[in-house]
Amino acid sequence: MEYCIGGDLSHFLRKKRALPELVVRRFLQQIALAIHFLWSNNVAHMDLKPQNILLTSSENPILKIADFGFAKHMLEGTEMHSLRGSLLYMAPEILCKRKYDSRVDLWSIGVIFYECLFGQAPFASRSFTELEEKITDSWPIALPYGVEVSDNCRDLLLSLLKRDPDKRIKFTEFFCHPFIDLVHAPSSESLEKAAKCISTAVTEDKAGNVPTALEHYSDALEHFVAAVHYERDFTKKRALQAKVQTYFNRAEELKQTLKPKSSPNQKTLQRSTSCSAAETSSLKPLDELMILCTSEKDLLNSVQQLKQADNEVKSENYKAALSLYEGSLEVLLKMLKSEPKGKRKELLHQEAYKALDKAEEIKRYQSVPKLTQNDIPTLDEESEMTNFICSCQHGPSISVETDSQKR
């Protein structure tokens, strides 16, 4: 038996209703860790709901899943046919098809997730009849109008709340989802993982392997952020945050070296015509190419796209630039095959391969993990979240601690 002084999640939600996304993410990571343990041992809970999720304390609580009365050992492919669970959190296939499997737990997690974010379950109703109608309805779940959540949060929530279990997110996808990110979930191992990643990052940094160094710096920073969240002592938190800021600054310096550069002033070329020297004009290669392509509309449009892409790079609109480069290259590379030898083919070849290099630069830059200054928790934010949780506590509870809860 374990004494859970923080009460259960339903009391917590009744106190505060909607929770900040940061708190919800922290709670959902803990639920996911427990469910991962159950899933790894082929166990489905079958009755996940806020009343069965307990909080260990009033400050920085750990969530505990309780009440395994409906739990079932289920191998892959095993199906159930009897009604079980609580209607408000029950997956539609249980009521509608009377044929279901362990994926019902994913639906229930989605309902809890929704309730934590918006203050009520998606099928909240005034009567049993109304509730039954909502469960058996075929309309997809929609988020409340006017409530802002992050893209990762929205994606996971809607993926969990798919009425058709075959379209619902899979357990493996759930555990790996960016919003859950169990690899970087706060734990006693977070600091050790961060130290290993930093060691590799510094080695790669010294060797001049910028992309690899950045990858490891980013991984380390995420583990450091998790370590800050896990640490209870504010003095240690402050020391960790200083480290996070130092490595974040270095990662930003390296990232700037990968930033796509706008084209330097190109060396002007003389137009190769039989005109007199007085009639010869000096042009940049891309401008000269446009003049040589005026008789062919598709080719001219593609060359103009290259110039537009260069301008987007100057404005740091890399997504738009990449789209323009790729669209232009699709046409240019095909036309190069049939283009006769001459000045135009020479310039087409030069600009096409220059665009290929720029497109690769942009892709390399975009592949760098995007950890921003806002991702680094401050002591004020940590204190604010702790105070928020403390203000929501309600009454003690007792739970039977299973092996999964000791994880």
Task: Tell me the CA distances in angstroms from 21 to 25, 106, 330, one per residue in order.
Answer: 6, 19, 42
Annotated catalytic, 105? no
Buried residues in 363-401 as b, exposed as e (16+ CB within 10 A): eebeebeebeeeebbeeeebeebeeebeebbbeebebee
Q: List the end-to-end C-alpha distance of the chain, in Å, as a whole number.
A: 16
Active-site residue, selected from the candidate residues 8, 47, 105, 310 = 47
* Residues labelled catalytic: 47
